Amino acid sequence: MARATRGERIAFMVKSLVDRPAATLSLSAFAERLGAAKSTISEDLAIVRRGIESTGMGSLITMAGASGGAKYLPRREPADVRRLAQSVCDRLNCPDRILPGGFIYMTDVITSPVLAWEIGEVFATQFANSGVDYVVTMETRGIPIALMTARAMNLPFVICRRDSRATEGPSVSISYVSGSTRTIQRMSLPKRSVRQGSRALVIDDFMKGGGTARGIADLLGEFDATVVGTCVVVATGEPRKKLVEDFLPLTVLESVDEFNRRVTVNPGGWVPRT
């Protein structure tokens, strides 16, 4: 392309970095693409870094040398986390969402691309320095959130399935007890999907008893993998004692009153209040 102006270079670099969070992009590739010297690219990146960090978008890491590059790490500030959690609560605290049996309709929240992206970045921020190797979920509605979390962290995304598939090769399967229905269920992971001794972040859309999260942890244990954290979009207030101890719920479903048509969903206890 023709030699770009500084404004054009900065716009291109910001777009490239934000599109590929946590991935290292080469200074040489920027220089070639934009028709500029590496020294000029480095000066531009200094401006980009100031803009990203001063606005609370995250941080920009640069690496010097012949193989130098830049990496954008998204970050959600406490005020962003509070705003997002309250926004999800406001959406869910609607009588029209009440379904027979005391359930609430939340599929549109989970599958919203914008909300999934924001929630994924919130979860990624909480575990940015935890040495996570994989983001893992069950083949349920939590997939969009887990995928966006994996994107924000530039990590492989792994799905535990109800049944093994021939197209994925040999698998490891376990039985687990559902925390809500107390029924025996199955889940499996291909042997090639997770490296032995790795560290995983578990993501799910909904938690009642915690049986699915516990099952995923037990299955990962078959790979000698460690669960460094579990994040859920909505957890129920009851039962208070879950089958997993440490988890981060973005919101908590405290009650559903079918007779009086009232839903009470509040931000999770870890969400900043001020």
For residue range 47-96, what is the model confidence (pLDDT) as tens digits?
A: 999 999 999 999 999 987 767 899 999 999 999 999 999 999 999 999 99
pLDDT the model gives residue 179: 60
Fold entry, domain 78-267: Rossmann fold (3.40.50)
Measure the CA–CA gap between 123 and 152, rounded to whole angstroms: 9
Domain boundaries, the chain: 6-74, 78-267
* Cα angle, residue 114 at apex, residues 112 and 115 outer, rounded to 5°: 65
- How distant is the alpha carbon of residue 22 from its chain centre? 13
Measure the CA–CA gap between 149 and 123, rounded to whole angstroms: 6
Residue 174's H or E segment, with its range, is: strand 171-177
pLDDT the model gives residue 182: 73
* Contacting residues for 148 by C-beta, under 8 A, at least 6 apart: 116, 117, 119, 120, 121
CA-wise closest residue to 51 among 103, 2, 4, 11? 11
Structure tokens at 264: 């009470």
* Contacting residues for 192 by C-beta, under 8 A, at least 6 apart: 168, 169
Q: Which amino acid is at 41?
A: I
Could you give the maximum distance between any two Cα atoms of the chain, in Å?
69
pLDDT the model gives residue 244: 92
Cβ atoms < 10 Å from Cβ of 149: 29
User: What separation, in Å, do the N-terminal and C-terminal C-alpha atoms of the chain show?
Assistant: 48
Measure the CA–CA gap between 170 and 188, rounded to whole angstroms: 10
Q: Which residues of the chain have pLDDT under 70?
A: 1-2, 66, 179-181
pLDDT the model gives residue 162: 87
CA-wise closest residue to 216 among 199, 202, 229, 206? 202
Structure tokens at 258: 């079918």
- Whether the CB-CB separation of 187 and 218 falls below 8 Å is answered with no
Q: Say if 6-74 and 78-267 have the same CATH topology.
A: no
CA-wise closest residue to 104 among 233, 246, 271? 233
pLDDT the model gives residue 229: 97
pLDDT the model gives residue 218: 96
In CATH, the architecture of 6-74 is Orthogonal Bundle (1.10)
- Whether the CB-CB separation of 49 and 102 falls below 8 Å is answered with no
Signed CA dihedral, 5, 8, 13, 16: sign only: negative
